[in-house]
Structure 1
């Protein structure tokens, strides 16, 4: 399949979509199927995070883009965007679907907006991920979750499909790194409070039918001492009591200038994963999601998490160039040297909100086609 065909409208994708009793379904999905986070399909594909929003909902190719709709129109618009995002994923052949983060402006701050104890009018400038300045809200009192944040969205998505659903939440360490704390005055104390809140949300998401709950922790790639001292422990508190599968996503960020400039300073080998992997390997987290394609991460670092399920980033989110299926397959072949085939989940390096919908769709098609190449190779052995 050529790059040109991958970039065409999603209608060119070979995956057929059916409306079955109000559900969007694919060739993998029938009323007789029982939902399971462990797909019967070998190498089940997924996305690591956000997908582009429709231009009528928010300005495209931009983070923190303000909503173009208000009130009831915004509520309905978000539902429409979520449905459209699901449709795009299914038509591209993605096996484990998500909401594409269509109802949130940002993967961290939207969750925090729903908590008490945080003042979004009282802002301070902090250095996020220890590399770029940003104006952030202030913790002014005890943080608490007054009501569910994403649960209604998850219920809506669950009504639309029987495909396994993965839902992303910000991780405790990344949350504290996106705020100014004027109350607890301790990163660790605040992280433990957020872990309890995330656990409340995660349990309700599980009850709503979510199969995999992912916690986004790009901060794990920066604050190595804290990760090992208490970061992974707070993450385990966030998943406490969950029966669904859990994942942690650790990457090198969206394809924005602050991140790409930072990556240029990291040298010929990016060994940041080496700091957290040993402790993650013995943690209760089921799946580890990471960046691999067009990355300087040595693939042999995957040996440090042998035995875990791994979401291997086989799509570069920092470029508009659409990968060929063979390029995706090549990344997966390299990963299979260190990850058992039944534990490998092809995915994207990170979220794709800053990309155009056309490019993101092409990349999803390439991901599915590349995974299929490897499935055929494995079945021929």
Structure 2
């Protein structure tokens, strides 16, 4: 797109209360059957409307049609048993009840393609769709079949590539892979995680993005971040590998974090989707704060490669807070855009 400093929501937006319980991850649906299908579409329409009304340039579905960014994809696959659940440690951070791989995993039909086609019908602006990355998928499961994280990741990478190619055919402009596991399992990222991600994007003509975050603004994540010391340098492990990869856009947390801004230098040449609003606070950023966060990055990324975004998904936030943060994001980007161009925005 031609807009300087375009804006985007990096992940989820809160669902309306008539669709799911507010401010809760993995919230069960409040509707079922045909009413649920209709309710999801209405929520997606509302998410598009709010993004456009608040000045967001790259439109997403806000994850309105899925309960969770990983498990909703997995539940459509053959070989995964959602009845036979086990409790596992997610990203070495918190325990969760997850489904179990009991046979060969297989995608028997498209998962999000119909929803993406519906999103495409709602706007002529660029649209972005998020998929879980292969390493994060295997970290959100119990495996009783492959007995190899690497082998299962490669299976998922092939499945994700199938889905991504059909999303591209449905008109998706940017396909984003969410890989928070890249901030935890550094040896695996080097050994096979990056290669698995490359397999997932193989042959795509749409722009590709990877989102490596420090997580939703939930207690387990904020507690973990409190243990990371005065500087968070996890990105130094994956960014050199990403700089050499075929991924087009790298998404990272920045505002209200302890991530040294100079880590962006490690992905010089890539587009950068920079988190300029915090998802772990109910405080609404001032446009000047957003502009300041974005401005600091310009030493390490050209302005025409910078995308303003949220740090992570906002599903756990109150809906009015999340939407106000979108308004702040676009207002802050507009301030810096005006500063850079010297023109009225």
TM-score normalised to structure 2 length: 0.99
Q: SS at 2:214's partner residue?
A: coil
Q: State the number of aligned residues.
A: 343
Match of 2:332 in 1: 370
Query: Which one of 194, 215, 222 corresponds to residue 232 of structure 1?
Result: 194
Give 3-state SS (helix, strand or coil) of 1:42's partner.
coil
Which residue in the other structure is 1:266 paired with?
228
1:314 alignment counterpart: 276
1:88 aligns with 2:61: no
Aligned ranges 1:1-381 → 2 under 5 Å: 39-380=1-342
Per-residue deviation at 1:141? 0.3
Query: How many Å separate the matches in 2 of 1:331 and 1:337?
Result: 12
Separation (CA, whole Å) in 1 of partners of 2:203 and 2:231: 37
Task: Report the CA distance between 1:357 and its aligned residue.
Answer: 1.1
Between 129-138 and 259-268, the greater mean CA deviation after superposition: 129-138
State the Cα deviation string for residues 154-188 of structure 1 (Å, max 9, x = none): 11111111000000000000000000000000000
Deviations 1:104-150 (CA, angstroms, capped at 9, x unpaired): 00000000000000001111111001111111110000000000000
Q: CA deviation at 1:353?
A: 0.3
Q: Distance in 2 between matches of 1:342 and 1:170?
A: 27
Which position in structure 2 is the counterpart of 1:23?
none
SS at match of 1:314: strand
For 1:70 and 1:372, the matched residues in 2 are separated by 41
Local SS of the residue matching 2:245? coil
Residue in 2 aligned with 1:30? none
Distance 2:233 2:47 in 1: 34
Flag structure 2 segments of 5+ consecutive residues without an equivalent. Answer: none
Deviation at 1:301, TM superposition (A): 0.6
TM-score by length of 1: 0.89
How far apart are the structure 1 equivalents of 2:121 and 2:50? 17
Shift of 1:337: 1.0
> In the TM superposition, what whole-angstrom CA distance separates every residue of 1:54-82 from its partner, at most 9, and x where no partner exists?
00000011001000001000000000000
Q: CA deviation at 1:380?
A: 2.4
Partner secondary structure for residue 125 of structure 1: strand
RMSD: 0.7
1:247-271 CA distances to partner (integer Å, 9 max, x unpaired)? Answer: 0000100000000000000000000
Matching residue of 1:9:
none
Tell me how far apart the structure 1 counterparts of residues 10 and 192 of structure 2 sit (CA, whole Å). 24
Q: What is the CA-CA distance between 1:40 and the residue it aligns to? A: 1.0
Shift of 1:275: 0.4
Q: Deviations over 1:85-118 (max 9, x none)?
A: 0000000000000000000000000000000000
Between the aligned partners of 2:220 and 2:122, the Cα distance in structure 1 is 37
Q: Which runs of 5+ in 1 are unaligned?
A: 1-38
Q: For residues 315 and 230 of structure 1, what CA distance do their matches in structure 2 show?
A: 32
